[in-house]
Amino acid sequence: MNLSTKSRYGLMALANLLNQDCCCSVKKISEAEHISSDYLEKIFSKLKKAGILKVERGACGGYSINGDPKKITLSKVVNALEKAEFTCPDFCTCQSKSVWQKIQSGFGYVLSSITLDQLSNFKNKSIYLDYAASTPVDSEVLATMLPYFSQNYSGNTMSLHKYGNSASQIVESCRQTFADILKVKSSEIIFTSSATESNNTVLKGVAFANKSKGKHIIISSIEHDCVLNSAKWLETQGFEISQISVDKFGLLNLDELKKTIRPDTILVSIIHGNNEIGTIQDLASIGQICHDRGVYFHTDASQSFTKTPINLSKLNIDLLTASSHKIYGPKGSALLYIKTGTKITPLLHGGGHEFGFRSSTVNLPAIVGFTKAAEIAIKNFDQEKEKLTKIRDYLINNILKTIPDSHLNGHPTKRLFNNINISFDRVEGESLLLELDFFGIAASTGSACSSMSLEPSHVLLATGLKSEQAHGSLRFSLGRFSTKAEADYLLEVLPQVINKFRALSPFKG
Amino acid sequence: MYSKKVFEHFRNPHNFGSMDNPTVVGQVGNLACGDVMKLYLKIAKNKQGQDFIKDIKFETLGCAAAIATSSVVTDLTKGKTLTEALKITNKDVVKALDDLPTIKIHCSLLAIDALTEAIYSFYKKTNQPISADFEQKHNRIINCQTRLKH
Ligand code: FES
């Protein structure tokens, strides 16, 4: 037996009423919830009789909740509207009688344990689970940045007057901070405008500076688009690109890498923590392989920087990309580490800023913000790692447990502590995203339908997923402000959403 | 990026689910992204003795646009004679949804194709003459399908 339409609509309308600031007319609620106003009027008059609603007069006339919504249970509401019975008739002594009795008491128990207040909390939520796409600027970061827009720092770092001087001092101290974090020399850090720019600089800059050695470049099959598309462009310029495959967890095939490196290979570029599936590569082994063969090794650490320790003094890495807006810093700020002696041509020619590697007047406030963001992230590393790993695993385990035909993408343990990527059979990601958005949950997907090219995620396909599995994938990425309560809310909503679209699908489980 | 109408049909789709004993079924997959749509039709004779769509239901695996177009196609065709239903184009569907983003226009074709296929198989089943035009349309859809499988 089902809850009747009466109870369903009654609860919907009450939740709506609670979310309004003042009392409301039946008309307003009926419009908002798409319920006929005559029908709602009848429901409300019953609820009034039961003392759940009261009528307000005056300018803002209409109904309002009578009493504290924290004290009104759903069972009070449902009982006011109908007699929900699961038992067989009294005289009946059938064998299933005890089952029905259990259902009846379970039903009553659940309804009396939820209050109207909790019901309305379900709505109007806004839960951001797309931190891997971008993060909000930390308020402390913003506060640190603001003074650097002032006149004192208005100079070009290249100018010799005091304004240029003070700006230049600040940039150098920021550079030193990153050098300390990565355990390198400060002259090896250059500031850029984005990870995309850093990666473009590496691919194109190394390619053009080392043409005389060779024209062969190696990347993985799970690179971010900015590396992949730079490599594709280089192909049109006469360079040869090899893509190293990954296993089903997204880990690089090291034997294949060894075999693919040739005398004319000039660069190996492998993403560190993958942006989609979160798999973390073994930088030490890859670096060793490249080092032994005398090939430059670049890693795109946009997602992993400050989320996993990177000590460049111990790793054979020649170039590394890190980004500000992934770590609660401002957008438009990133860095590129270039080991001393690395042959690389700049992308931007001009006044010779950043040791001649990247001309452009430096964006002082953005660099200051990026630096502050990195300091905060390093300071909070242990705490954040512990908290987010817990939430991540809690979500992964519970989603896999409660939603049938769901599969984890990426590595179970060698993964970014904030990344969750799961495929659900027989559903499509774009529709899931939009439905989740109605519940206030922001996530992302590898579905073809949501990409501009209508191609499913190349990363998921590279791990051996079929297109239809990539189609039904969702990525939830956690961040500093994620909570267990948010995770619980997702666990409440997600099964309903998946069920809705599975019911719509022509394929049945 | 979607119109209000698309959202309405997406959130509360009309006529969805499977149907017991449909007269015919039309199922197509979309070439561009591998999505699938299935239409169930119950066909009967109206008072004038013409075949008409007495009931129609859909099941769709695809994006919000695919679900919304499926829903709208069931609305546009329910109660129509087969001749009328065949005249509906994807432009009508897009119009009924107050427009679709360009990149999603192909999703509206999916729905029209499923309808065409369902009616085609009804004509075959009942040995009705099939115009050259209709045959061509059917062949185009079938071609897409086989290309998709490779
Ligand atoms: S169904 Fe894939 S884009 Fe519409």
- The whole-number pLDDT of residue A110 equals 82
CA B106 to ligand 1: nearest atom: 4
Burial class, B132, CB count within 10 angstroms (exposed 0-12 / middle 13-18 / buried 19+): exposed
Q: What is the pLDDT of residue B100?
A: 94
Residue B60 lies in a domain: yes
**Per-residue pLDDT for B147 more than 70?**
no
pLDDT for A291-333, tens place per residue?
Answer: 999 999 999 999 999 999 999 999 999 999 999 999 999 999 9
User: Is B115 a member of any domain?
Assistant: yes
For chain A, how long is the longest CA-to-CA vector?
Answer: 99
- CATH no. for residue A159? 3.40.640.10
Going by their DSSP bridges, the two strands A334-338 and A189-192 should be labelled as antiparallel
CATH number at residue A31: 1.10.10.10
The answer to whether residue B100 sits within a structural domain is yes
User: In chain A, what percentage of residues exceed pLDDT 70?
Assistant: 97
**Is residue B149 assigned to a domain?**
no
Which range of residues forms the domain containing residue B52? 4-144
pLDDT confidence tier of residue B150, bands split at 50, 70 and 90? very low
Q: Which residues contact A309 (CB under 8 A, 6 or more apart)?
A: A381
Q: How far is CA A282 from CA A198, A285, A326, A391, B44, in A?
A: 21, 6, 21, 24, 65
- Number of domain units in chain B: 1
Distance from CA of B27 to the nearest CA of A (A): 9
Q: Is B115 a pocket residue for ligand 1 (Cβ < 6 Å)? A: no
The tally of CA atoms less than 13 A away on the side-chain side of residue A296 is 29
pLDDT, one tens digit per residue, over A233-287 is 999 999 999 999 999 999 999 999 999 999 999 999 999 999 999 999 999 999 9
State the smallest CA–CA distance between residue A449 and chain B in angstroms. 6
Task: Tell me, yes or no, whether A157 and A23 share the same domain.
Answer: no
Strands (E) located in A160-202: 189-192
pLDDT value at residue B30: 63
Distance CA B9, CA B3 (A): 10
Q: Which atom of ligand 1 is nearest to the CA of A447?
A: 2
Q: Are residues A192 and A300 in the same domain?
A: yes
Mean pLDDT, all residues of chain A: 92
Which one of A34, A427, A430, A508 would you mutate to disrupt binding with B, by most B Cβ within 10 Å of its Cβ?
A430
| Class of residue A121 by CB neighbours under 10 A (exposed 0-12, middle 13-18, buried 19+) | middle
Token duo for residue A492: 């409440």
- Amino acid residing at A199: N
Q: How far does residue A82's CA lie from ligand 1's centre (Å)?
A: 43
CB contact under 8 A, A448 and B11: no
For residue B100 and ligand 1, the question of a CB distance below 6 A is answered with: no
- What angle, 0 to 180 degrees and rounded to 10, lies between the N-to-C axes of helices A74-81 and A97-113? 120
pLDDT (0 to 100) of residue A396: 98
A441-467 burial code (b ≥16 CB/10 A, e <16): bbbbbbbbbbbeebebbbbbbbbebeb
β-pair type (A334-338, A406-408): unpaired
CB-based contact B64 A431, cutoff 8 Å? yes
Q: Answer for the pair B102, B121: CB distance below 8 angstroms, yes or no.
A: no
Neighbouring-strand partners of residue A300? A271, A321
Cα distance between residue A417 and residue A396, in whole Å: 12
Give the tens place of pLDDT for each residue, A120-136: 665 568 899 999 999 99
- Selected for mutation to probe chain A from B2, B10, B15, B33 (highest A CB count within 10 Å) is B33
Name residue A207's amino acid: A
CB contact under 8 A, A438 and B11: yes
User: Mean pLDDT highest for which of A52-61, A159-168, A296-305?
Assistant: A296-305
Min distance B49 CA to chain A CA atoms (Å):
32
Pairwise pLDDT comparison (A219 vs A107), residue with the higher score? A219
- Is B48 part of a structural domain of the chain? yes
Chain A contact set for B4 (CB, 8 A):
none
Let me know whether A166 and A201 are in one domain. Answer: yes
Residues in chain A with CB shorter than 8 Å from the CB of B37 are 506
Question: Is residue A89 located within the same domain as residue A216?
Answer: no
Nearest by Cα to B15 from B87, B52, B65, B68: B68
Identify the pLDDT of residue A276. 98
pLDDT per position as a tens digit, A431-483: 999 999 988 999 999 998 888 778 899 999 999 999 889 999 999 999 999 99
**Are A506 and B61 inside 8 Å of each other by CB?**
yes
Tokens for A460, please give them: 């998921």
Report the distance separating Cα B69 and Cα B75, nearest Å: 10
More confident residue, B34 or A174: A174
What burial letters (b/e) apply to A26-41, b meaning 16+ CB within 10 Å?
A: beebbeeeebeeeebe
Partner-chain contact B67 A431, CB within 8 Å: yes
- Residue with the larger pLDDT of the pair A29 and A277: A277
Determine the Cα angle at A359 with ends A356 and A365, to 5°: 115
Of the candidates A22, A92, A94, A449, the residue annotated as catalytic is A449
- Does the active-site annotation cover B33? yes
* pLDDT of amino acid A124: 65
Judged by a CB distance cut-off of 8 A, whether residue A507 touches chain B is yes
The verdict on a CB contact (< 8 Å) between A505 and B61 is yes
For chain A, the domain total comes to 3
Residues A59 and A157 in one domain: no
pLDDT tens profile A354-393: 999 999 999 999 999 999 999 999 999 999 999 999 999 9
Side-chain half-sphere CA neighbours of B107 within 13 A: 29
Choose the weakest-confidence range: A21-25, A159-163, A165-169, A456-460: A21-25
Tell which residue, B12, B3, B16, has the closest CA to residue B97. B3
Domain-embedded: residue A509: no
Angle at A120 between CA A116 and CA A126, to 5 degrees: 155
Which domain-ending residue is among A361, A379, A397? A379
The residue whose CA has the least distance to atom 3 of ligand 1 is A449
Both A162 and A292 in a single domain? yes
Query: Is there a domain that residue B150 lies in?
Result: no
- How far away, in angstroms, is B30 Cα from ligand 1 center? 8
Average pLDDT over residues A192-201: 98
CATH number at residue B82: 3.90.1010.10
**For residue A329, what are the domain limits?**
139-379
How far away is chain B from the Cα of A32, in angstroms, using its nearest Cα?
A: 13
Query: What's the distance, Cα to Cα, between the start and end of chain B in Å?
Result: 32
**A475 and A413: one domain?**
yes
Q: What is the pLDDT of residue A468?
A: 87
pTM above 0.90, yes or no: no
Question: For chain B, how big is the Rg over CA atoms in Å?
Answer: 15
Residues A190 and A284 in one domain: yes
Give the length of chain B.
150
Q: What CATH number corresponds to the domain at position A471?
A: 3.90.1150.10
Active site residue B63: no
Contact flag B63-A454 (C-beta cutoff 8 Å) = no
At which of A338, A353, A379 does a domain end?
A379
Position A252, amino acid: L
Instruction: Using an 8 Å CB-CB cutoff, list chain A residues near B17.
Output: 503-504
CB distance B66 to ligand 1 below 6 Å = yes
Rounded CA separation A266/A261 (Å): 9
A99 sits in which H/E element: helix A97-113
User: Which residue has its alpha carbon closest to ligand 1 atom 2?
Assistant: A449
Both A428 and A472 in one domain: the answer is: yes
Touching B: A residues 466-485, CB under 8 Å: 467-468, 471
Residue A375 and residue A281 share a domain: yes
pLDDT at B149: 47
User: B145 pLDDT exceeds 70?
Assistant: no
Contacts of B12 (CB under 8 A, 6+ apart): A34
Burial of A265: CB neighbours in 10 Å, binned 0-12, 13-18, 19+? buried
What pLDDT, on the 0 to 100 scale, is given for residue A164?
A: 76
At A21 the pLDDT is 60
Contact B10 A434 (CB under 8 A): yes
Q: Please tell me whether residues A149 and A228 are part of one structural domain.
A: yes
Task: Please indicate, yes or no, whether residues A357 and A387 belong to a single structural domain of this protein.
Answer: no
Q: Which residues of A touch B60 (CB under 8 A)?
A: 504-506
- At residue A22 the predicted structure's pLDDT band, cuts being 50, 70 and 90, is low
Q: How would you classify the pairing of strands A296-300 and A265-271? A: parallel
For the CA of B33, the nearest atom of ligand 1: 2
Say how many Å lie between the CA of residue B67 and the centre of ligand 1.
Answer: 9
